[in-house]
Amino acid sequence: MKDLGPARQIFGMQIVRDRKAKKLVLSQEKYIQKVLRRFSMDKAKVVSTPLAMHFKLSTKQCPSSDDEKEDMKKVPYASAVGSLMYAMWVMRYLYGTSSLSLCFGTGKPILCGYTDSDMAGDVDTRKSTSGYLVTFAGGAVSWQSRLQKCVALSTTEAELIAVVEACKELFWMKIFLGELGCAQERSWISSRSRIEKQEADPGLVLEIET
């Protein structure tokens, strides 16, 4: 086995380590640029969000009659997906953010979670979408956006479900870091909309037992 020195790239991701500044940077800029050139999107107009608000997918858009289903069999689905408008929109977003990277520095080694949710975003099931981001030492280490398993009856309930999902991840990471010798005395979860609701009505305050 030969020692090739510090890793600089793995799975299309660049690794930059500045020992003097005590920073570790992970970037996929080269990979993103390669994908953009492949689909001729390397000079596209930049957008600020990965998905536009007017993009709404529904089962009503699926073929309903036997004739429509038969016609859809002729469509090369895998190729068609790549040309859909929302897929092209994502590439325009990547074009404008390709130089952004994950940076881990001298920030406090404390787990912090941030959550959010929409309300009844799925037009078919009326389920909401939860999202969370967990940071450690100044950089993002875990994130997720997924449809909730139950139908929330209010924005407050949807937000609380998002907080609970983030707590599950935070608790697991807290145990994992403890095994690595980096015990976490306290971790944080922030949900701005939940805080605003609680300030308006203290009766809405709920505590999650651990």
- Which pLDDT belongs to residue 81? 56
Q: How far apart are CA 93 and CA 46, in angstroms?
A: 6
Angle between helices 85-97 and 29-38 in degrees, nearest 10: 140
Among 72-76, 108-112, 120-124, whose mean pLDDT is lowest? 72-76
- Which pLDDT belongs to residue 193? 56
Pairing assessment for the beta strands 129-136 and 13-18 based on DSSP bridges: unpaired
Q: Which domains are present in the chain?
A: 9-97 (no CATH), 107-204 (3.30.420.10)
Average confidence score pLDDT of the chain:
84
Q: Please, which pLDDT band fits residue 97 given cuts at 50, 70 and 90?
A: very high
Q: Are 148 and 130 in contact, with CB atoms under 8 Å apart?
A: yes
Distances (CA, A) of 38 to 50, 100, 124, 142: 19, 20, 34, 29
Q: How far apart are CA 186 and CA 163, in angstroms?
A: 16
Mean pLDDT of the region 135-145? 94
Q: How far apart are CA 12 and CA 175, in angstroms?
A: 30
H or E segment at 102? strand 102-104
- Which pLDDT belongs to residue 117? 94
More confident site: 77 or 109: 109
Segment 36-89, tens digit of pLDDT: 999 888 999 999 988 777 777 777 777 778 887 777 676 665 555 544 566 788
Whose tokens are 């969000």? That residue is: 49
H or E segment at 136? strand 129-136
Q: Are 205 and 198 in contact, with CB atoms under 8 Å apart?
A: yes
Segment 190-201, tens digit of pLDDT: 876 554 444 445
More confident site: 34 or 82: 34
Q: Please, which pLDDT band fits residue 206 given cuts at 50, 70 and 90?
A: very low
Residue 118 pLDDT greater than 70, yes or no? yes
- Which pLDDT belongs to residue 159? 93
Give percent above pLDDT 70 in the chain.
83
Residue 204 pLDDT greater than 70, yes or no? no
